[in-house]
Amino acid sequence: MEEQAVGEQTQPSSTILETRNLTKDFKGFTAISDVSINVKTGSIHALIGPNGAGKTTFFNLLTKFLKPSAGQIIYAGKDITNARPAGIAQQGLIRSFQISAVFPHLSARENVRVALQRKLGISYHFWRPVRILDQLNEEAQATLEQVGLGPFADTKAVELAYGQKRALEIATTIALKPRLMLLDEPTQGMSSEDVGTVTELIRKVVDGRTIVMVEHNLNVVSTLADTITVLNRGEVLAEGNYDTVSTNPAVMEAYMGTTDAA
């Protein structure tokens, strides 16, 4: 049996997120149709599919940026179909690369500290006892070390290289203590070197957490994902590990317009 990540107070192989017949219509056009997925606790679950397949729409449904037309979303055993984005964030379902905006003129450490303060609900109370601020600084430093930015703690975000900025975004997301991280194309626009660094980083931060990611880069998906859901025209075309989906004739047809193996 596959080993589960430690740190979750759930049973091995339990489901942390589930969609049941999730559907989204835009004025008569069905962008997501009856999509049911099951995300295992502690796994990396990737959503892939050709352009226009409905990945972004599905992602926006999960993070409550869009309201479903039909179906249900169950997170940690609770029906969150009608929950507000802030409500689900408090329950540990955190979307990265959008909400965790990085402040360009703050240092890496200050950026992480802002996220830690947000989590604690003590934002910008600079009159807090020094002891608490010291604790925050220590935790911020530890979080930066987790993503390889320890030596850059005092560097302004704007001065970090592109891949390092992405690492900082991951650090600010980790600071929000996610149980489930939703990553929207984490390697988009990166050099191949940065793709490698961020791929390693994602593998590292999954420990004790679950990740759902939309990702175009199939190398990244093949390296990281335990389970892949392939969407096409708003429907689930295939699901399974990389070997299963990459050899599925319907997937080859959707991607390459051919069922011949490359």
Ligand X SMILES: Nc1ncnc2c1ncn2[C@@H]1O[C@H](COP(=O)(O)OP(=O)(O)OP(=O)(O)O)[C@@H](O)[C@H]1O
Q: Which stretch, 45-53, 86-94, 147-155, 198-206, contacts ligand X (CB under 6 A)?
A: 45-53
d(CA 112, CA 137): 9
d(CA 167, CA 112): 11
Minimal distance, residue 149 CB to ligand X, in Å: 29
Which one-letter amino acid corresponds to residue 144?
L
d(CA 143, CA 132): 16
Among 40, 45, 55, 165, interactor with ligand X by CB under 6 A: 55
Among 28, 51, 124, 257, interactor with ligand X by CB under 6 A: 51
d(CA 234, CA 74): 20
Q: Which stretch, 46-54, 77-85, 121-129, 173-181, contacts ligand X (CB under 6 A)?
A: 46-54
Among 52, 77, 87, 151, interactor with ligand X by CB under 6 A: 52
d(CA 170, CA 7): 19
For residue 174, what is the enclosing H or E element? helix 162-175
For ligand X, the closer CB: 35 or 136 = 35
Minimal distance, residue 233 CB to ligand X, in Å: 8
Q: Which stretch, 6-14, 48-56, 159-167, 197-205, contacts ligand X (CB under 6 A)?
A: 48-56
Interaction of residue 29 with ligand X, rule CB under 6 A: yes
Helix (H, G, I), strand (E, B) or coil at 202: helix
For ligand X, the closer CB: 33 or 107 = 33
Q: Which stretch, 55-63, 87-95, 151-159, 197-205, contacts ligand X (CB under 6 A)?
A: 55-63
Minimal distance, residue 45 CB to ligand X, in Å: 16
Interaction of residue 26 with ligand X, rule CB under 6 A: yes
Minimal distance, residue 53 CB to ligand X, in Å: 4
For ligand X, the closer CB: 85 or 104 = 85
Interaction of residue 31 with ligand X, rule CB under 6 A: yes
d(CA 213, CA 241): 14
Among 54, 163, 178, 186, interactor with ligand X by CB under 6 A: 54
Length reported for the chain: 262
Among 33, 57, 197, 227, interactor with ligand X by CB under 6 A: 57
Which tokens is 256 given?
A: 């390459």
**Is 257 exposed, middle or buried, given 0-12, 13-18 or 19+ CB atoms closer than 10 A?**
exposed
| Angle made by CA atoms 238, 240, 246, in degrees to the nearest 5 | 70
Largest CA distance in the chain: 66
d(CA 128, CA 160): 29
Residues 163-222 that bind ligand X (CB under 6 A): none
Positions touching ligand X (CB under 6 A) are: 26, 29, 31, 49, 51-57
